[in-house]
Structure 1
């Protein structure tokens, strides 16, 4: 009887297991559900390099969406252009048990242009499908094939799709002829399996059982803890162009050849250049005159058509239509300078991306182009897409990185300007006249430099109503009545912005018995301390180095004197320095505060030390003075 019952139980277990689909949520290991909004159940990438100019990509992915927060990952968005095509698309929705709910028809998959708001010409299109389920969890699965005509780059791979997304299985395989030359770069410690069969070589990479990553404050990205592969051809063919990517010099030579003959200007534009520079006495003055002309008479639009995604529009064309993308406008500026007898070089750069890898050249490490004017003892970089940036200021997202200078001898790695804490300054002077009821009248003057200029500049472009709302809502001091707002850029050639504010405040003083209490730092203080993170995974950094200097002068209410002011404070660490000084004289309190921060990237183990540093600043910023009535 016992044997019969055991046999029946095993039989029923087998039936139940058979009823569970491959994507049953119960099959997800518990460690992959922790902190996860979605789980990559299986991802397979296979790239077959057919020859120098052709390849086939096969892709398949299944993702289980655990809750509503994961719905953004229930999408297919696959991009192609006239040099590739996507076909054999299959898409399926499964319920929590892994049971098929729906196969999507081809008519439900949208095929649309990827045209952006700032792009008027773009070859890119997208195959798009949004999976929808009202019940959670659910699983989406899709696959497709894509043929490439022209190989400037290969599909890349990374196991993590984002924060709070764990990985059950993910893999990438590249297949090539044994005589075909390629290069690849992998994350640290990732194993590369190489298999040779007949005349084919396969490189394989895989990742499995990776718990979800939770976003950590000030994280600089997840590349250091992801598994990833970037691969690139050496020689290539694309849209009738050939080149070699085996080093940055040859990469730059290809870009240089693409641009040959692209700097010709119409006769009328040549004459305009001569008129613009006729009174200039130095090369710098000539550059400024021509750069101002560029900013006032052209606008940025994106152009992504075949090789045009890499070759600038002719300068002659830009002169006629007065628009272009970053390549076209940089090349146009280069042509204007050439007419003025000034040599310049195009710069390939990763805007808001890491530095180029000096030892590994490839497409995909850059997304932007600017211009470099190498004068004797003075190299000037120009951001040619902005109508507002002063000459020589390229912005925080372009600064302090290795970039590629395009020369007649090929590519050359150079470094863009570094904006130090001293450069990225905020200097502020504030006067507050206090009333006995705790309210006050505030007058504030701030000066912002470089990165802080950039952060605040859009205030100058806002409509008055919008600006007033932003100021009132963003003020650290409660605004009772806003009297005046003024932003000016005193010298258009410098990245410096001034701000003037005046307003009546709500109550700043609190009363206790016959005493009044004042939090002395009312303007630029730390309002919270980040939580410590145990076993942190990611590197961290503040967005940019900066130097904040504040001075606040309080005029006391009539009939009151200072009974107590805090002691001066100095805090020093590898992350930055902080000083606060307090002084009382006659009927005033003078408070000065300086905070200098470094944007160095720090390892995860140092984060809790950073929190301790911020906590000390937070406490120092909360110190109070005590006012008492005069006899």
Structure 2
């Protein structure tokens, strides 16, 4: 076990910033001078962790890393908290003890009940650079996961040295994932096995846009138990099937509804013509009569609130609401399964079962010919729409036979569409009356549905800021969701622009793509290190019809444009017809993870789209 006695006296002068190798200060906002973590498993549900680190903050961008936060709950105890502040020369400025640390609730705004708390210290020191050294110990009396090791966890962060020592009884088994090429040192010490991972001289990385993460280029280790004990519950999670068995047992018997709720379910589905219609009615009832709150108390962080309770209080967390919906479907004679998912996280690793790959629960309703997925925390999502952050992922279906890995539906580019029709009635002075009608679907619906839910004044402010039309005044603005069972949003905007076009000498210049231009370019990166991806693939279809003012004729229109690459396809075309110019544009973007070496190709593709969106037409005054 590590001992921290005398740590401060040893460190005097050791943290002189001039001692940091120059290669580690390049591109760095902070440098981890030394980090040591020791974690010893003592039993299925007991462990001890000792941690110490020293971090040099080089400039304001690294200031957040000087703050110390350690979470705990009724199954963990944080103690031996110490900290010391050093100046640029490594001279001690101030020492802190346990009594100097603050203690508070770690409850977020959306959480009603939680036993999670936090010990923290926020260091305020205005003279850069400086060094913060701190240490603490934690005793655990309930274990779900083992700590991971990720020493270079952010951009602009360099690491001088870091190590992780993991001790576990020889009779226990665990699973491990680690970065490619990372060396594992293992030794037997009496009845324990000791494993160690370390790194030195890890340089800081400059932020790379659209990155899918640093873990492809930095050292890391993830560990998970095969057996654990937590809040008097024991489990074997050597594989996903076993983990599903444990979760199924936690929720077993919690789908009992009170008689009043059973009667309500039967009334709601009385004349429904199909199972799908029953699902829609019950899901809509759930949305209209419950609200989401977080509940995370011990094993309750994994056990759903019983359906009877949710029916009475009309609120619950993702587990409770999903379980309540499951109970109502059960009363309707429809089978469903709880689903464990990482919302906004990568897919579950099929070969590595652990509790820390998921943060959310939804519901799956398998029918004879298809499957309906339900996001039970949303008050407005259509039946079967679970959102971009839940789509296309490997998830865990919790069944009576244990856990089964399945895939949620993928929202492809053509499904995530925006279709817009714009009519621009120009007059001789360059002003215009403009009507914009837009349809958003799936992921683009999700991105924009919030506009329908906010106050009209805020709606108008958002539109004024986003459209980019000069000298405009909104006449009317309306959002509608024509079918609550479809992820579709309609937007209708009427506005006037007192000076839409520029010109002179009897000519007016029209930027053909009025509304949906790509307004910036990307900077190439030499020797990019990390893969990249977009948030989602999508399809934009724009049509803009310009009515030519009396006394003007078309002098010039741009040629047709076609741009194709592995990243997507772009087309633009202008046609003069009668007294109009009709501009049509399509932009289809393919989303997947691309290797780092493809980034500059994407930048070149992006630049072509930027240039294409600037194409102009010219109207000339008839002599």
Shared fold by TM > 0.5?
A: yes
Partner of 2:532: 540
Does residue 449 (structure 1) correspond to residue 441 (structure 2)? The answer is yes
1:445 deviates by 0.1
The answer on 1:145 being equivalent to 2:130 is no
Task: State the 1:122 CA deviation.
Answer: 0.3
Q: 1:625 aligns with which of 604, 617, 621?
A: 617
Q: How has the CA–CA distance of structure 1 residues 20 and 176 changed in structure 2, closer, same or farther, with 3 Å as cutoff?
A: closer
Compute the displacement of 1:226 (Å): 2.2
Q: State the aligned residue count.
A: 614
Deviation for aligned residue 1:466: 1.1
TM-score, with length taken from structure 2: 0.97
What is the Cα deviation at residue 544 of structure 1? 0.4
1:590 aligns with 2:582: yes
TM-score, with normalisation over the residues of structure 1? 0.96
CA deviation vs aligned residue, 1:417-463 (integer Å, no higher than 9, x gap): 10011110000000011122222111000000000000000001111
Pick one of 417, 420, 423 that aligns with 1:425.
Answer: 417
Distance in 2 of aligned mates of 1:47 and 1:20: 27
Cα distance, 1:628 vs structure 2: 1.2
Q: 2: CA distance between counterparts of 1:465 and 1:252?
A: 48
Structural mapping, 1:195-274, within 5 Å: 195-274=187-266
The answer to whether 1:440 aligns with 2:432 is yes
CA distance in 1 between counterparts of 2:209 and 2:429 reads: 40
Moved more, 214-223 or 292-301: 214-223
Which of 112, 117, 123 lines up with 2:104 in the alignment?
A: 112
Relative to structure 1, the CA distance from residue 20 to residue 110 in structure 2 (aligned partners, 3 Å threshold; closer, same or farther) is closer
Answering whether residue 130 of structure 2 is matched by residue 176 of structure 1, we say no
The 5 A counterparts of 1:413-562 are 413-562=405-554
**Deviations 1:156-214 (CA, angstroms, capped at 9, x unpaired):** 11011311111111111100111211111112221111111222211111121111122
Unpaired runs of 5+ residues, structure 2, are 1-9
How much has 1:246 moved relative to structure 2? 0.3
- Name the SS for the 1:126 alignment partner: strand
In structure 1, the partner of 2:185 is: 193
Provide the residue aligned with 1:76 in structure 2: 68
Cα 1:432/1:361, change in 2 over 3 Å: same
8 Å contact from structure 1 (residues 476, 524) kept in 2: no
Report the equivalent of 1:62: 54
Is 1:33 the counterpart of 2:25 in the alignment?
yes
The aligned residue for residue 616 of structure 1 is: 608
> Are 1:551 and 1:593, in contact at CA under 8 Å, matched by a contact in 2?
yes
Assess if the C-alpha contact under 8 Å between 1:472 and 1:479 holds in 2: no
- Deviation digits for residues 313-340 of structure 1 (CA, Å, limit 9, x no counterpart): 1111111111000000000000000000
1:394 is paired with a residue whose SS is coil
| 1:223 counterpart SS class | helix
Alpha-carbon offset, residue 512 of structure 1: 4.0
1:508 positional shift: 2.8
**Correspondence list, 1:374-393, <5 A:** 374-393=366-385
Q: Which residue of 2 aligns with 1:9?
A: none
CA distance in 2, matches of 1:308, 1:409: 22
Residue 20 of structure 1 deviates from its aligned partner by 7.3
Is the 8 Å Cα contact of residues 165 and 194 (structure 2) preserved in structure 1? yes
Distance (Å, rounded) in 2 between the aligned partners of 1:562 and 1:219: 45
What displacement does 1:468 show? 0.9
Q: Distance in 2 between matches of 1:556 and 1:130?
A: 63
Q: Distance in 2 between matches of 1:501 and 1:494?
A: 22
CA positional deviation for 1:509: 2.0
Find the residue that maps to 1:261 and give its secondary structure: coil
Rounded to whole Å, the distance in 2 between the matches of 1:163 and 1:229 is 18
- CA distance in 2: counterparts of 1:426 and 1:128, whole angstroms: 46
Work out which of the residue numbers 399, 404, 409 in structure 2 matches 1:412: 404
**Cα pair 2:427 2:550 within 8 Å, conserved:** yes
Query: What RMSD over aligned residues (CA atoms) do the two structures have, in Å?
Result: 1.2
What is the CA–CA distance in structure 1 between the aligned matches of 2:500 and 2:309, rounded to whole Å?
60
Ranges in structure 1 where 5+ consecutive residues have no aligned partner: 1-17
Partners of 1:479 and 1:121 in 2: CA distance = 50
Instruction: Please tell me whether the aligned partners of residues 529 and 618 of structure 1 are also in contact (alpha carbons under 8 angstroms).
Output: yes
SS in 1 for 2:213: coil
* 1:331 maps onto 2:323 in alignment: yes
Whether the 8 Å CA contact 2:322–2:362 is kept in 1: the answer is yes
Aligned-partner SS, 1:26? helix
Answer whether contact 2:531 2:594 (CA < 8 A) is retained: yes
Contact 1:46 1:174 in 2 (8 A): yes
**For residue 14 of structure 1, what is the aligned residue in structure 2?**
none
Say which is worse superposed, 509-518 or 84-93, in terms of deviation.
Answer: 509-518
Is the Cα contact below 8 Å between 1:540 and 1:604 reproduced in 2?
yes
List structure 1 runs of 4+ shifted beyond 6 angstroms: none
Whole-Å separation in 2 of the counterparts to 1:60 and 1:471: 50
Distance in 2 separating the partners of 1:427 and 1:294: 31
For the 8 Å contact 2:471–2:499, the answer to whether it is kept is: no
Counterparts of 1:44 and 1:470 in 2: how far apart (Å)? 48
CA contact 2:471–2:500 (8 Å) conserved in 1: no
Q: Does the CA-based 8 Å contact 2:79-2:98 persist in structure 1? A: no
